[in-house]
Structure 1
Amino acid sequence: MNRTSGRKLVIIIGGSLTTSRIAHLGKILEIGEELFSKIIIVHEGHSPLILKYIKIQAICTGVPNIEAKIPLPLRAIGYVIQEFKKCKKILRRVEKKDIVLFLGIYQPISLLSVKLRKCPSIIFGGGFDITRFVTQNKFFNIIYFIFRWSFQINMLKHFDKIILESPSVKDFYNLRKFDKKILYAHLFIPNIFALTVPFNKRDIDLAFMGVLSKEKGIIEFLKSCNILKNKNVAIRVVIWGDGVLKDQVEQYINKNNLSALVQLKNFVDPYDVPKILNKIKLLVIPSYSEGLPNTLLEAMACGTPVLATPVGGIPDLVKEGETGFLLKSNNPEHIAERIIELLNKPDILEKVSINAYNYVRENFSFEKTLESWQRILQEI
């Protein structure tokens, strides 16, 4: 694979390195190794373990990431300090011929510094977080939603290119106005995610795996589990996750006497995820907002049938009854109905298990992903 004629890849990261972002970054670094002779990462705070990698140069601001619990005025001040620190480091190290990839859209001053260097700026849109609810106040949430969405749209106007993981992401987030600058490239699924346990040998009937937050639909999933309990559906349900709603999830389980049906477990080590996915008969992803979720792809790669809402890029992968199953809504009654329907059709679930595994192996290999990234980077 030819490297890009002496150009550097500069990755500018805004915000905390969450589990999802670390997964994205690790894969981008593997791709970047093949295509660039040098990679530089500009990141807030101090260098985390993933950046201590011999083949990349990590440049950190030394200013700790701003915690959400800090008062808003202090967070705003900290945010501005972070941006100016990054700007200074970018202007020192970025050259006109380099390619700059942004992870995190809330970096206006960093983007301005890249513009001053006159090198191409790219935003990797692995899911725009526009549906996050920050308080119980509905009015404030609406105002916050409008502000975030307006800010993101205005930021997208100033990037040279936008990389999306699938065409449905563009439609879901109504980004058609950016057609001329949108390119498509997804990330690969490592070979450790594979179908190793046949469907009929799995012992967890139903599962949820992800961040425990409102936009991920965890409350709706719990309500559907309560409906299953009231209908005397005897199944084993496991929730793996953590997040802002963890206490609320625990309270709901206790209040509704769901502990005999539902187990709540913390996030597991990433290396254990394939083993766990191979124990699950049906994984539910009832999200309100997604890009192309890692959990979905990893589950399909392990032959785990997925029942998901048709948001973000999910409809491009999940074809009803072939590679997975789609929900019509996040309504708990509907989720419960579909769970009962599908768990009573093991033959269809087994067929989908094999189809999903084959689909991911054919379309999300490292080699195929590398080819698509090389193709689009040569256009820039």
Structure 2
Amino acid sequence: MKKKQNKIIFVGLLPPIITGQSVATAAILDHLRKHTNYVKVIRLPDNLTPKSSVQKILKWWQFILVNLRFLWAAGWSSKIVYLSGARSFMGTLRNLPMIAWSRWRHQRIIMHYHCGDYTEFLSQQPNWFQKVSCWAHEQCEDIIILGSSIRQQFELNKDVAGKLRVIPYGISLSSTEKKYIESSISLLFLSNLIHTKGYWDVLKAIDILVNMWQYRNLTCDFCGSFMTNSDDPTNITSEQAKLNFDNFVEKRNLQNFVSFHGPVVDEKKKKFLKKAHVLLLPTYYNTEGQPISILEAMAHGQVVISTAFRAIPDMVHDQKTGFLLPPCNANAIAEKIKWLIDNPSQYSEMSQRALEHVKSNFSMQLHLKKIEAIFFEYESYHHNSSV
């Protein structure tokens, strides 16, 4: 395939920072590098909220450096600017100079949001900030969001609503077949262990199954890093959260049923995805968008137990490919796991439907095809208008 000639400035969160956003952004970047002659990358710092004065100063300095690198890279000849959308006060201000420069130079701006609560965030900000944010969105030609169910979060006005492009995440598919529950069931929590991701609800559900209902043929693997977040009601450090987790497991005699493995990537992650029957992610995380771990699990034939939150209903069809439960309800999680154990044939049917659903709607090939169409429609338009 002949490579496109557009010069692209690519601003996004990338590995080694490991989040669903960084993994998805890296896949887009790799694809663009294969299909265009010039992609200049500007890496964004992590999305963690600074707490101390020193951390805030460091964050502002990082933002200044990002903009200086952008101005150096964008220059005068760039045609397209890809920019990860910000759902924070500081992140929005970080993006403004890049948007202003790109608009002044008549460069096509593609904004990509990976969150699902933008209007909720904006409603808590000062009036002047809301107006500035609307202006920034109006300067973009395209605004990519993750799902139809969160579209209303980004319809700031009629002009912005017309720019929205719904493109869900995509994942590489394997030749996995549907799964069967035989002598035991393997459960998986695959996400950073943030309180509002629901890991405590999962842990309590395991306690109910093992110690109250005497279900002993099960294991649950927790894979991720303990992290804090601005919406964490416990207000404790990640170290204390890990200690509380370990103490609960020991106190409730769950050592033979619960294992913590830390963050997992590549082949190690694939091992857990292949092993597990059910993914547990009862999230109500404030910036949740479309958890990639759900798609990865479904692509491996897992039934998903999650919540009807943000863009998750676009991925998980309740009662068909998984279960969508109210948040903070360990008993409901335990009941659904029990039902799957007691109904293995229905489990296998749901596993098959999960596989079919993700293959039809969330393949990496389909995702990148939609992304590519947005990036390179500029070249087609520019070529046709020059004829």
Task: Identify whether the pair has TM-score above 0.5, normalized to the shorter chain.
Answer: yes
Displacement after TM superposition at 1:213 (Å):
0.5
CA distance 1:156–1:210, change in 2 (3 Å)? farther
Moved more, 229-238 or 95-104: 95-104
CA deviation string 1:18-50 (max 9, x = no partner): 2124312221113313443211111257xxxxx
1:306-317 aligned within 5 A: 306-317=304-315
Task: Indicate if the aligned counterparts of 2:99 and 2:136 stay in contact, CA closer than 8 A.
Answer: no
Q: CA RMSD in A?
A: 3.3
Write out aligned runs for 1:1-380 (5 A).
4=4, 6-13=5-12, 17-20=16-19, 21-43=21-43, 72-94=52-74, 95=76, 97-103=78-84, 105=86, 106-118=91-103, 119-128=107-116, 146=124, 155=133, 157-159=135-137, 160=140, 161-171=142-152, 173=153, 175=155, 177=157, 178-191=160-173, 193-195=174-176, 198-200=179-181, 204-228=185-209, 229-234=211-216, 235-244=218-227, 245-289=241-285, 290-378=288-376
**Aligned-pair distance for 1:283?**
1.2
Post-superposition shift, 1:326? 1.5
User: Which residue type is aligned with residue 166 of structure 1?
Assistant: G
**Cα distance between partner residues in 1 of 2:304 and 2:222:** 14
For residues 132-184 of structure 1, give each alpha carbon's deviation from its aligned partner in whole angstroms, at most 9, with x where no partner exists.
xxxxxxxxxx9999459x9799646513132112111324x465644222111
How many residue pairs get matched?
A: 346
- Structure 2 portions without partners, runs of 5+: 228-240, 379-387
Distance 1:128 1:79, change over 3 A: farther
CA contact (8 A) 1:203 1:279 kept: no
Q: 1:251 to 1:179 in 2, by over 3 A?
A: farther
Q: Secondary structure at the match of 2:162?
A: helix
Cα shift at 1:302: 0.7
Structure 1: gaps spanning 5 or more residues: 46-64, 131-141
Kindly indicate whether the alpha-carbon contact (under 8 Å) linking 1:202 and 1:278 is maintained by their aligned counterparts in 2: no
Q: Deviations along 1:173-226, whole A, 9 cap, x unmatched?
A: 4656442221112332123x4416742468543221111101211112112222
Letter of the structure 2 residue corresponding to residue 316 of structure 1: D
Structure 1 pair 236–311 and aligned structure 2 pair: CA distance change class (3 A): same
Q: Normalization by structure 1: what TM-score?
A: 0.79
1:234-256 residue CA offsets vs partner (Å, 9 max, x unmatched): 22222222213333322222233
Task: Name the CA distance, whole Å, in 1 between partners of 2:254 and 2:354.
Answer: 31
Query: Structure 1 pair 43/97, CA: closer, same or farther in 2 (3 Å)?
Result: closer
Residues 71 and 372 (structure 1 numbering): CA distance in 2 closer, same or farther, change over 3 Å? closer
- How far apart, CA to CA, are the structure 2 residues paired with 1:368 and 1:262? 36
Aligned partners of 2:121, 2:356: CA distance in 1, in Å?
44
Report the Cα offset of residue 313 of structure 1. Answer: 1.4
